[in-house]
């Protein structure tokens, strides 16, 4: 069974599974561990805790890589689903696209993309 690349598996130095959400909540209260906590996200320093990220290999085993930071992003704007060409994308409302407007190109935020617009790449916006 494959493991999605966005799935994070953390273990401690003894090989015990570490629950990411519980770890973040526990460390959030320690000011010396908080490297950044702003509108972009939360970054926690964990290099001295002996935490490892398990990455699956092609052989079905796992490679343990030391973790120095844990990053939790915050989305400041809402996420939209847009169909551009044959692909449906999840983008933030403030993502910028370059569209054709007659003979000129202009930048348009994702929240203002309309069906029928043509991107500079030649792909059409469907929804």
Query: Do the bridges between strand 87-92 and strand 79-84 make them parallel or antiparallel, or are there none, so unpaired?
Result: antiparallel
Percent of the chain beyond pLDDT 70?
Answer: 92
Give the whole-angstrom CA distance, residue 47 versus residue 66.
7
pTM of the predicted model as reported, rounded to 2 decimal places: 0.53
The pLDDT of residue 1: 34
Reported as a single tens digit per residue, the pLDDT across 97-123 is 899 888 888 999 888 989 999 998 889
């Amino acid at each position: 069974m494959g493991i999605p690349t966005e799935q994070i598996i953390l273990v401690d130095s003894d090989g015990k599974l570490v629950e990411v959400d519980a770890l973040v909540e526990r460390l959030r209260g320690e000011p010396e561990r908080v490297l950044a906590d702003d509108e972009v996200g939360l970054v926690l320093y964990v290099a001295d805790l002996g935490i490892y990220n398990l990455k699956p290999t092609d052989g079905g085993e796992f490679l343990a890589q030391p973790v120095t930071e844990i990053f939790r992003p915050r989305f400041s704007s809402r996420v939209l689903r847009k169909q551009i060409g044959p692909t449906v994308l999840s983008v933030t409302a403030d993502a910028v696209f370059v569209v054709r407007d007659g003979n000129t190109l202009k930048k348009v935020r994702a929240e203002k993309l309309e069906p029928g617009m043509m991107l500079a790449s030649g792909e059409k916006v469907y929804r």
